[in-house]
Structure 1
Amino acid sequence: MTNPIPERVVNYNIYDETDKLVGVSAEVTLPNFEAMTETVSGAGIAGEFESALPGHFGSQTIEIPFRVLMDNSFSLMKNSGRSLVLRAAQQSYDVAAGKSERRPLKITLKYQPKGLNLGTLGVGAMTESTNTLEVLYIKVEENNNTMLEYDKLNFVFVVDGEDLLADIRNMI
């Protein structure tokens, strides 16, 4: 693909570490990477700025809504330390070739259960139950290339093939 225009996620599924389909979800809210910061100010500085701590981020959560309340909603509440895998097909339009191309996206997560919203009951309606999970590890692979790997508990933060915490890990 020489001149791709990213378009959309065609579709995706959620699996546990045994490749068992977890359930059908309309839309998953992925974690936010917001750096932990400290305000720096003082002599010789004209004002102040927020200094980011390399590879350190605030609490990260993922929300998985399910159309109806089911056993997997409860299973996710007790499966601390286990993995979830989101597998997606992404589509881009290749301007040079004049056609749509698809490539795989894989997001692997290790988590601790944080919450379960049971949703609502209504005649002919979805419950819209939601599991909230605290993310301890995430790896994002596109087309079998690791774009991001973040392991909070093992002090690893790899971005585009470079471990940004390797030097600090060696110092401590």
Structure 2
Amino acid sequence: MKFSNKTIQYKLKATDQNGRMMLIDDSSDLQLPSIEKLSDTIKGAGIMGEIDWPTFGQLGSMTFTVNNRADSGQYAILSRPGEIKFEVVWVTDVLDSNNVKIGLQQNKVFMTGASKKYDMGKLEVNAAADGSSDFEIFYIRKVVDGKEVLLIDKFNYKYVVNGVDFYAQLRTALQ
């Protein structure tokens, strides 16, 4: 059995104002988007209490956050309006308990979104500014060791997990 342990290192790239991918090399940490389904509370006869039931095909806001130690021109560029593409690559160490070996696992996330917050941080002598930038994500694709494990494309009604397209039936029904 293989156990993923922790992140060894990561790299963040984003498109600049000309659409070229550039390295953002001084972030302190990243918060990848959460995938939360929109829901509605149902109650009544046949149900003991309430159920907060997820609505099929409806996802909440997906926010990607880049935290930085100090503001730079890189973050100002990312505050611009319009589409921004991101590529995050990170490596985790993995323990193979069958062979008692430690290996590496490559993870990649490709995202497309738009800037929704640019916080330049706090200025204090001899301290990090601790600024951040938030982005609304509408496309996300995750690849682990070369295999696509997740694809969400909100504008094209795609939600694919390990090759299973859960929204294919929804797209067909909407034709």
After TM superposition, is the score higher than 0.5?
yes
How far the C-alpha of 1:82 sits from its partner, in A, is 2.3
- Please say if 1:168 is aligned against 2:166: no
One-letter identity of the residue aligned with 1:10: I
The structure carrying a bigger strand percent of its residues is 2
**Whole-angstrom CA distance in 2 between matches of 1:142 and 1:7:** 14
Shift of 1:23: 2.6
**One-letter amino acid of the structure 2 residue matched with residue 9 of structure 1:** T
Q: For structure 1, which runs of at least 5 residues remain unmatched after alignment?
A: none
Structure 2 SS opposite 1:82: strand
| Displacement over 6 Å in runs of 4+ | none
Counterpart for residue 101 of structure 1: 103
* Alpha-carbon separation, structure 1, partners of 2:8 and 2:171: 39
How many Å separate the matches in 2 of 1:101 and 1:55? 37
1:120 and 2:122 correspond: yes
Give the structure 2 partner of residue 89 of structure 1. Answer: 91
- Which residue does 2:55 correspond to in 1? 53
Query: Cα distance, 1:33 vs. partner?
Result: 1.3
**1-side partners of 2:48 and 2:92: how far apart?**
45
- CA–CA distance in structure 2, aligned partners of residues 84 and 11 of structure 1: 17
Name the residue aligned to 1:43: 45
Counterpart position of 1:23: 25
Which position in structure 2 is the counterpart of 1:10? 8
Question: Unaligned regions of 5+ residues in structure 2, if any?
Answer: none
Output the CA distance in 1 between the equivalents of 2:105 and 2:57.
28
| Distance in 1 separating the partners of 2:4 and 2:102 | 10
CA–CA distance in structure 2, aligned partners of residues 64 and 76 of structure 1: 10
TM-score (norm. length: structure 2): 0.90
SS in 2 for 1:153: helix
Answer whether contact 1:149 1:157 (CA < 8 A) is retained. Answer: yes
Q: 1:95 and 1:45 mapped to 2: Cα distance?
A: 44
Conservation of the 8 A alpha-carbon contact between 2:4 and 2:94: yes
The residue type paired with residue 13 of structure 1 is: K
How many corresponding residue pairs? 170
CA distance in 1: counterparts of 2:158 and 2:29, whole angstroms: 28
CA distance 1:44–1:119, shift in 2 (3 Å) = same
